[in-house]
Amino acid sequence: MADAKPIISLDGVTVRFGNQVAVNDMAFAVKNEEVVAVLGQTGAGKSTVLNLILGQIKATTGTVVVDGCDPYANYYALRGKVAVSFQTDRLLPWRTARENVELGLEILGRPEKTRRSLAAEWLNRLKLSAAHHDKYPQQLSGGMRQRVSLARALVIDPDLILLDESFSQLDHVTSKALRTDFLSLVKGLRKTCVLVTHRIDDALEMADRIVVLAVPGEIKLELALSDATRNDPAWLSSATKQISAVMTAHSGEDVPKAADAV
């Protein structure tokens, strides 16, 4: 990594909603240019972690730092620095694909000519052909719409990209192709990315590191990945079993020891 200073840091973070604990004494960091998957079943605290990073909610106790500031207290300081793509594409149906990609640039006050040029460039980089740029979301397939959503996130040139189950509603072939294309761009641009997902395959294929959560929002397992581990069927099989054990176990149960990363 080019810079050892983390772009995201959670230290002793607990989040309570009434009597319910959503995140319990969590501590982890994400380095610049790292791709980290936050993996867990429904209710494990994934969405709460994402909302903490986005500054949508405040930690009950502990500290959250994103790109040098408290994202809740200094929400607008991160404007243009953090982009997010969600499980559903959330495209505006009255805007074309290109116009949807332009939206963030409009908010940031970029000139119209610049917006149009950058939107077309990023749609092309996400492999949506020019023939589809002026089509409306309802005229596009699910995979195409998600490519538009990812282009909209990348076009503003953010420091940090957050993915909230961005590939989970696509079929296996479409999802794999889009993950490959997106990851190639992120690595080439040396961006930092946090992927929130419940799909083990997404995490294993994309992440430099996987953080596995279990109820009530506790880190139960961390695995580091490399090109060598991704091409080692025995390692992948062992890692998958370990992750599955955590995701299906009740909080507080013993889980297998993490595999050694190559």
Domain containing 23 — which CATH number? 3.40.50.300
Q: Which residue shows structure tokens 């957050």?
A: 162
Residue 111 lies in a domain: no
- Beta-bridged to residue 218, according to DSSP, are 214
Cβ neighbours of residue 67 closer than 8 Å, sequence gap 6 or more:
7, 8, 78, 81, 82, 159, 160
Residue 2 lies in a domain: yes
pTM, two decimals, is: 0.88
C-alpha of 152 from chain center: 14
- For residue 4, the model assigns a pLDDT of 62
- Give me the domain span that covers residue 212: 1-81+191-262
Stronger pLDDT, 3 or 64, i.e. the higher one: 64
Mean pLDDT, the chain, as a whole number?
90
Question: Could you report the per-residue pLDDT of 127-179, keeping only the tens digit for each?
Answer: 999 999 999 999 999 999 999 999 999 999 999 999 998 888 788 888 888 89
- For residue 248, the model assigns a pLDDT of 85
Residue 113 lies in a domain: no
Question: Is the preceding peptide bond at 233 cis, omega within 30 degrees of 0?
Answer: no
Residue 236 lies in a domain: yes
Residue 209 lies in a domain: yes
Q: Are 10 and 27 in contact (CB under 8 A)?
A: yes
What amino acid occupies position 5?
K
- For residue 67, the model assigns a pLDDT of 92
Instruction: Please tell me the distance from the alpha carbon of residue 129 to that of residue 53, in angstroms, as a whole number.
Output: 33
Backbone φ and ψ of 211, nearest 5°: -110, 115
Residue 122 lies in a domain: no
Strand (E) or helix (H) holding 212: strand 209-214
The total of structural domains in the chain comes to 1
